[in-house]
Amino acid sequence: MNTVPNLLFNIFDKVKKKGPNFIEQIIDGDIARGFENKDLRFRFPPEPNGHLHIGHLKAICLNFNLGEKYNSPVNLRFDDTNPEKEAKEYVDAIKNDIKWLGFEWDKECYASDYFDQLYDWATSLIKKDLAYIDSQSSEEIAAQKGTPTKEGQASRFRTRDKEESLKLFKEMFEGHHDSGKHVLRAKINMSSPNMLMRDPVLYRVMNVHHHRTGGKWKVYPMYDWTHGESDYIEQVSHSLCTLEFEPHRELYDWFLDAISPLQGVRPKQREFSRLNLSYTITSKRKLAKLVEENIVEGWDDPRMPTISGLRKRGYTPEALKNFALTVGVSKRENVIEASLLEFCIRAHLNQVAPRAMAVIDPIKIKIINYVKDGGEKINFDINPQDKTLGTREINFSKEIYIEREDFQEEPEEGFFRLSIGEEVRLKNAYIIKAVDLVADEKGNIKEVLCEYDSKSKSGSNTPESNRKVKGTIHWVSATDSVKAKINIYDRLFKVSEPGKEKGFKNEINQNSLEIKEAFVEPYLAESIEAQQFQFQRVGYFVRTANKKTLEFNKTVGLRDSWKK
Ligand code: ATP
Ligand code: MG
C-alpha cells in the first residue's frame, strides 16, 4: 500500500485539531463572560456583483465552520445596496456555489429588504440631530474632508434646520432631486483622526432600477450604514469582515449607538486578514474586467479563481475546504502560495479519482511479433490507493499509442523510456523493445516498430513478468481508443503578484490554455459530466459539460511542476 495519501490527509487532520483560532477565542471569551451560546449567529454577506472567488471561500468557511462548531445559524445576506452593478444572475450563482461547497445557510436575507427600516432610522437620526442633508457637490465635500493629519472642515449645511433636512430627505426619496444634488450625512466629528468619522454619507440619490425593489427607491443607503444595521436586524452576534474594515468599526459602533436603545443582541464587528494567493487576483472588480474584455470565457472559466471556475477545473469541495483550513484564520496579511491549493486538490483526487489511460500527444507503436488477432484483455487497477475497488479490463492490441515524449530516437543521457534497442514496460501490460522506425518522406516518425516479450505480462507470475526494466509508460490500444479534446491550463498571470508592479492586464500569460487532441480509453467515453480521473502519469482531469464532444479539463498535474 502506498502511504503517501494517508500522510497527506494526516496533515489536514492535524490542522483540524489545532486549537481555537483567534475569532473562536473571542467568541469563547464572550461566552465565558455570560453571552449565551444560543444567541450566537453569523452571516456571510456577499455583494451580488460577480461570482464568488477563492478569497470569499475563506470567509465562507470561517463563518459556516463557526456555525458548525457552535451549532449556530449562519445567514446568507446579500449586500445589495449598489444596484448599478448587481444582478439576480449573481445572486443565483452565489447560492449555487455555497450549496456546492456543502454549506447550508439559515436565512436568505437581502439588505434591500431592510430599505424601509433603514430609511425610518435615517429619518430618526435627522430628528435626533445626528444627520443632515448636505447640498454641496461631491467635489466640495471631498475637498473638505481633510487628511489624516489635517482636520476636516464643516459643510455650511451642517447646521441646517432639522425640518428642512427632513423635507429634503423625503423629496429625495420621492424622486424630486437629481443625483448629486443632495446627500444625507451623519453628523459625527469633522476633526476625528479617523477620516471615516468625518460626517460620512448615509444616502445618495440614485434613480436606478434595483433587481429586487424595482423602481421604488430613488435614494440608496451606503454600505457602512447598511451593514451594521442589517447585522442588528438579523441579530447577528459576530460580524466578521476583512482587515481593511478595521477603521470602519468605530463607525459601525456609532451607528448602533445612534439607533439605540437596542433590543436583543448588539452585534460586534471583528476583522481577519484577507486571503491573497500568488499568481491570482482576488478582487471582483478586476475579475469582472477579465470577463468584460473577453480575456477569459466567463466568470466560470476554468482559469478563473472563482468557485465556479475552480469547479469546472475539477476542484472538489473537500479540497477547497481543506485549503481554507490549512490557510487558517489570522490577523496577519500574507500571500499564500498557489501551489498549496494545488497540493490540496491533488491530495483529494489521489484518493478518489479512478485511474485511466490517455495519450495526449500520441505516437504509434506497432508490435511486430504480436500475433493474437483481436488483441487481449489486461487487468488494470481502478485505484491503487483503494485496493478494495479491484481492477477493470482494458484492451491490448498489436497497435498502440504512447506519448511522443516517451520515445527518443537518440536517447539523451538518463532517458530510461523507449528508444531503439531499449526496453520499457507498458503499464499493467508487457515489456516492449523498439527495433525500427517508419518515417514519412519528410523524416517525421510515423510508427515505431517494437517487439514484445510475450511472457512478461504484468501479474502473470512468470519470471519474465517480474523482470525489472528501468521505465514504465502509459499507452492506449490504437484499435479501440477514442479521440478526446483536452484543455490544458497554465496560470493566468505570469507574475506572482499580478498588479503589484504594472497593471494586471499587462501581466497576463497569453498561453494559459493549450488545446490538445488525445487518444483515450473507450472507458473514458462512458464518463459523465464532472467525473474525475487520474490519467496515469499525466495528471488529474475532469469531464466537461460539453455534450457534443468528449472533452476533459486538466485540473492539476501529478506533482508540483512549479517547484524549482
Ligand atoms: P472584492 O474585493 O473581490 O469585490 P468584496 O469584499 O467587495 O470583495 P463582498 O461580496 O463584499 O466582496 O465580500 C463578501 C465577504 O467576503 C466579505 O465579508 C469580505 O470581507 C469577504 N472577502 C472578500 N474577499 C476576501 C478575501 N480575499 N479573503 C477573505 N475574505 C474575503
Ligand atoms: Mg465588499
Please, where in the chain does CATH 3.90.800.10 lie? Answer: 129-221
* Separation of alpha carbons 359 and 375, rounded Å: 19
The number of the ligand nearest the C-alpha atom of 48 reads: 1
Task: Give residue 535's identity as a one-letter amino acid code.
Answer: F
The whole-chain average pLDDT of the chain stands at 95
Residue 500, pLDDT score: 87
What is the CATH number that goes with domain 4-106+224-345?
A: 3.40.50.620
pLDDT digits 0-9 by tens, 382-409 = 999 999 999 999 999 999 999 999 999 9
Q: Band of the pLDDT at 321, cuts 50, 70, 90?
A: very high
Please state the φ and ψ torsions of residue 81, each to the nearest 5 degrees.
-105, 5
Q: Report residue 8's pLDDT band, with 50, 70 and 90 as the boundaries.
A: low
From 218, 249, 284, 313, the catalytic residue: 284
Taking only Cα atoms into account, the Rg of the chain, rounded to an integer number of angstroms, comes to 31
Q: Which residue has the cell 439576480?
A: 88
- Amino acid occupying residue 407: F
- Does the Cβ of 86 fall within 6 Å of ligand 1? no
CATH class belonging to 129-221: alpha beta
Kind and range of the H or E element at 327?
helix 317-327
Q: What is the pLDDT of residues 414-459, one digit of tens each?
A: 999 999 999 999 999 999 999 999 999 998 999 999 999 999 999 8
Query: Is 2's pLDDT higher than 60?
Result: no
User: What local confidence, expressed as pLDDT, does residue 3 receive?
Assistant: 42
Q: Is 366 left (phi over 0), alpha (psi -120 to 50) or beta?
A: beta
Which amino acid is residue 390, in one-letter code? G
Each residue's pLDDT tens digit, 326-370: 999 999 988 999 999 999 999 999 999 999 999 999 999 999 999
Is 1's pLDDT higher than 60?
no
State mean pLDDT over 211-235.
97
What's the CA-to-centroid distance between 47 and ligand 2, angstroms? 6
Residue from 231, 240, 241, 242 whose mutation best tests the ligand 1 pocket (most atoms within 8 A of CB): 242
274 lines ligand 1 (CB under 6 A): yes
pLDDT of 216? 96
Q: Where does CATH 2.40.240.10 sit in the chain?
A: 357-481
Nearest to 243 by CA among 18, 42, 55, 29: 55
Per-position b or e across 200-216, b if 16+ CB within 10 A of its CB: bbbbbbbeeebbbbeee
Mean pLDDT, residues 257-277 taken together? 97
pLDDT surpassing 80 at residue 264? yes
Provide mean pLDDT across the span 19-33. Answer: 96
Residue 11 confidence (pLDDT): 72
Q: Which three cell numbers stand for residue 182?
A: 443632495
Residue 47 known to be catalytic: yes
- Report the distance separating Cα 432 and Cα 400, nearest Å: 11
Q: Tell me how far CA of residue 44 lies from CA of 163, 242, 379, in angstroms.
A: 38, 12, 49
Q: What CATH fold (topology level) applies to the domain 357-481?
A: Ribosomal Protein L25; Chain P (2.40.240)
- The per-residue pLDDT for 4 is 47
Residue type, 372: K
pLDDT band (50, 70, 90) for residue 560? low
**Pocket flag, ligand 1, residue 307 (CB < 6 Å):** no
pLDDT on residue 121: 98
CATH 3.40.50.620 intervals, the chain: 4-106+224-345
Q: What residue owns the CA closest to ligand 1's atom 27? A: 55
